[in-house]
Amino acid sequence: MSEVSPLTPRIGKVASRELALNGITGYEDLLERTPDQLLAIHGVGPKAVRILAEELAARGQSFAATR
């Protein structure tokens, strides 16, 4: 099992809490989600999704493809 990389605090406390409540606690969890799925979570807005996309890109990763 790989070590979970916690999400950046740059997204804010509310977005972090709401993502955690939806089972998203590390970057590995984001690989299975689309930006639209994240935006559907109350408390997660476009700014948080943009920041998370930047963080994933810095790791050479991206969100799941839109279905």
pLDDT tens string 3-60: 567 899 999 999 999 999 999 999 999 999 999 999 999 999 999 999 999 999 999 9
Distances (CA, A) of 1 to 4, 6, 28, 35, 60: 9, 15, 12, 26, 20
Distance of alpha carbon 14 from the chain centroid: 13
Give me the pLDDT at residue 66, please. Answer: 66
Domains of the chain: residue spans and CATH: 9-58 (1.10.150.20)
Distance of alpha carbon 6 from the chain centroid: 10
On the CB side of 13, how many CA atoms lie within 13 Å of its CA? Answer: 0
